Amino acid sequence: RWSRVKGRLRTSVGEDVYTSWFARMDLEGVQDESVHLSVPTRFLKSWIQAHYADRVLTCWQAEMPEVHRIDLTVRTAMRCAAPAKETTAPADQRRIEQANGRPAPELRATATAPVSASHDALGGSPLDPRLTFASFVIGRSNTLAHAAARQVAEGRRGDPVMFNPLYIHAGVGLGKTHLLQAVTWAGNSGSERKVLYLTAEKFMYGFVAALKTQTALAFKEALRGIDVLVIDDLQFLQGKSTQAEFCHTLNALIDAGRQVVIAADRPPSDLESLDDRVRSRLAGGLVVEMGSLGEELRLGILKSRVAAARAHHASFDVPEAVLDYLARTITHNGRDLEGAINRLLAHSKLNAQPVTLEMAEREVRDLIRPQEPKRIKIEDIQRVVARQYNVSRSDLLSSRRTANVVRPRQVAMYLAKTLTLRSLPEIGRRFGGRDHTTVLHAVRKIEALVARDTALSEEVESLKRQLQE
């Protein structure tokens, strides 16, 4: 009966709509006048209720006239179901397939499905023509990220995929977008591959818009027909249904041997709102951090910016001494470096004056900020505390409750709370999967002890100093 109802529904709404909305709807049971149905996401539920409630009821009544009510519920917390092949092909085998450049056979079908018609529906995010490999300056903090990005950009269709996904993380203004757009430009010029650059927000809106116009299927197909998918600012990916969709896309692409490149402002383990499986999938490729811009790199970026400006304003010149001054004093990020050069350019144009040190000092005063405090990691805290108290890091994460482990563990949790921006649940998770109340208890305990126990207070201060060095 259920399959007959589904058949009616399919005829009534059409194949596309049916697949987008009803394919994952299950029958939970029928009782008297009510039918209980379930779907995997809240989003699907509200959409079906808003747009298709009557249609569903009519289809049921055609089969069972006594039905007068449809109850629609969300099955479980949304998880990105692992693709079916994972049950038959363990991760190792997939890696071997990847190394051979052979996509998994059942996904090859998806990959070669006609996508051109729907591809237009999937505009990428705008690209800045200046953000190319040619203008990207290589320094100590980004050598590895740059090399990996280059490798990805130079690959050709069918080449073995070496690291998937390539996941680059760094703080604001350290060159993530620059590198990702460089990959996109390089990939799209002179090769037959389709490289798509999307911000996570664009991915989200694209998906939601596709759902609204009932072209979700086309959206998905188009995404899966991409050779290299580049996603910027993944930390902004929000909402269960888009995350689930992202997860499916990620799995499908990776399993089909397509390249995925991702940038975010933090490592996968710190993307707190993401599902565990997505997180581990993200961490399963190559994760590279780009550190802060060293002085040499800053100088290089300034020079490259000046050179770019001179292409249009030949008379613009910045003396070496000014560049040195800027590289030494603007330590924050690449955006401020770019801003400084723009200001000098504007000022020297408007006033028809050459750039001098005095002018630079005046113009960029507000960009000069004190040295940013070091970003401290929970792992570092655990390492330093373990060393101090002569226990192992795994002791700290273990469930052992002996006094020589309990106190160091509490100190480490306290430091994690006070020196990082991590939430209590996140800290708990990083300490061997403890509850947030345990972390809170530890924090309060140490706070109280530090207030009256000078020996401990000094220990804690010394640990803080070690970590800040």
- Residues at the site binding ligand ADP, with contacts judged by CB under 6 A: 131, 135-137, 142, 170, 172-178, 301, 304, 334-335, 338
Distance of closest approach, residue 196 Cβ to ligand ADP, in angstroms: 18
For Mg ion, which residue has the nearest CB?
177
Distance of closest approach, residue 330 Cβ to ligand ADP, in angstroms: 11
β 34-39/26-31 pair status: antiparallel
Asked whether 149 and 244 are in contact (CB, 8 A), the reply is no
Q: Which is nearer to Mg ion, 56 or 174 (CB)?
A: 174
**Which amino acid is residue 403, in one-letter code?**
A
Q: Would you say 331 is a known binding-site residue?
A: no
Asked whether 264 and 235 are in contact (CB, 8 A), the reply is yes
Q: Would you say 177 is a known binding-site residue?
A: yes
Q: Which is nearer to ligand ADP, 115 or 152 (CB)?
A: 152
Q: Which partner from the list Mg ion, ligand ADP, none does 204 bind, CB cut-off 5 to 8 Å by kind?
A: none
Distance of closest approach, residue 356 Cβ to ligand ADP, in angstroms: 24
Q: Which is nearer to Mg ion, 38 or 125 (CB)?
A: 125
Distance of closest approach, residue 366 Cβ to ligand ADP, in angstroms: 17
C-alpha pair distances (Å), 448 with each of 33, 34, 182, 386, 411: 61, 58, 52, 21, 12
Q: Which of 138, 242, 134, 158 is nearest to 198 (CA)?
A: 242
Q: Is 127 exposed, middle or buried (0-12, 13-18, 19+ CB in 10 A)?
A: middle
Q: Which of 290, 295, 296, 293 is nearest to 334 (CA)?
A: 293
Q: Which is nearer to ligand ADP, 344 or 396 (CB)?
A: 344
Q: Which partner from the list Mg ion, ligand ADP, none does 184 bind, CB cut-off 5 to 8 Å by kind?
A: none
Q: Which partner from the list ligand ADP, Mg ion, none does 174 bind, CB cut-off 5 to 8 Å by kind?
A: ligand ADP
Distance of closest approach, residue 271 Cβ to ligand ADP, in angstroms: 16
Q: Which is nearer to ligand ADP, 335 or 375 (CB)?
A: 335
β 228-232/259-264 pair status: parallel
Distance of closest approach, residue 420 Cβ to ligand ADP, in angstroms: 20
Q: Which is nearer to ligand ADP, 264 or 378 (CB)?
A: 264
Distance of closest approach, residue 265 Cβ to Mg ion, in angstroms: 8
Q: Which is nearer to ligand ADP, 102 or 335 (CB)?
A: 335
Q: Which partner from the list Mg ion, ligand ADP, none does 142 bind, CB cut-off 5 to 8 Å by kind?
A: ligand ADP
Q: Would you say 356 is a known binding-site residue?
A: no
β 166-169/195-199 pair status: unpaired
Q: Which partner from the list ligand ADP, Mg ion, none does 226 bind, CB cut-off 5 to 8 Å by kind?
A: none
Q: Which partner from the list ligand ADP, Mg ion, none does 298 bind, CB cut-off 5 to 8 Å by kind?
A: none
- Contact letters (x/-) for Mg ion, 159-188, by CB under 5 A? -----------------xx-----------
- Contact letters (x/-) for Mg ion, 280-299, by CB under 5 A? --------------------
Q: What is the DSSP letter of 19?
A: I
Q: Would you say 417 is a known binding-site residue?
A: no
Q: What angle do CA 269, 133, 98 make, to 5 degrees?
A: 50
User: What is the Cα–Cα distance from 230 to 224, expressed in whole angstroms?
Assistant: 12
Asked whether 47 and 41 are in contact (CB, 8 A), the reply is no
Cα atoms in the Cβ-side hemisphere of radius 13 Å centred on 113: 17
Distance of closest approach, residue 233 Cβ to Mg ion, in angstroms: 6
- 330: Cβ contacts below 8 Å, ≥ 6 apart: 298, 336, 337, 340, 364, 367, 368
The DSSP secondary structure of 79-137, one letter per residue, reads --PPPTHHHHS-HHHHHHHHHHT---HHHHHHHHS--HHHHTT-------TT-SSTTPP
Q: Which is nearer to ligand ADP, 41 or 177 (CB)?
A: 177
Q: Which is nearer to Mg ion, 199 or 410 (CB)?
A: 199
Distance of closest approach, residue 373 Cβ to Mg ion, in angstroms: 22
User: What is the Cα–Cα distance from 58 to 185, expressed in whole angstroms?
Assistant: 51
For ligand ADP, which residue has the nearest CB?
334
Binding-site residue numbers are 173, 175-177
Binding-site residue numbers for ATP are 173, 175-177
Give contact residues for Mg ion (rule: CB under 5 A): 176-177
